[in-house]
Amino acid sequence: MRTSPNVIVTGTPGVGKTVHCEQLAQETGLRHLSINQVAKDRGCYETYDHELQTWVVDEDKLLDAIEDEVIQGGYLIDWHACDLFPRSWIDLVVVLRCSSTSVLYDRLATRGYNQTKLQENLDAEIFGVLLEEAREAFDEEVVVELDSEKDGDVESNCARISSWVASWKESRADDTD
Binding site, by residue number, is 14, 16-19, 111, 150
Binding site for ATP, by residue number, is 14, 16-19, 111, 150
CA–CA separation, 88 vs 91, rounded Å? 8
Strand pairing partners for 32? 76
- Helix ranges restricted to H, the chain: 17-28, 35-42, 59-70, 101-110, 115-126, 129-137, 153-176
Other beta carbons within 10 angstroms of residue 88's beta carbon come to: 8
Q: What is the phi/psi pair of residue 95, to 5°? A: -105, 110
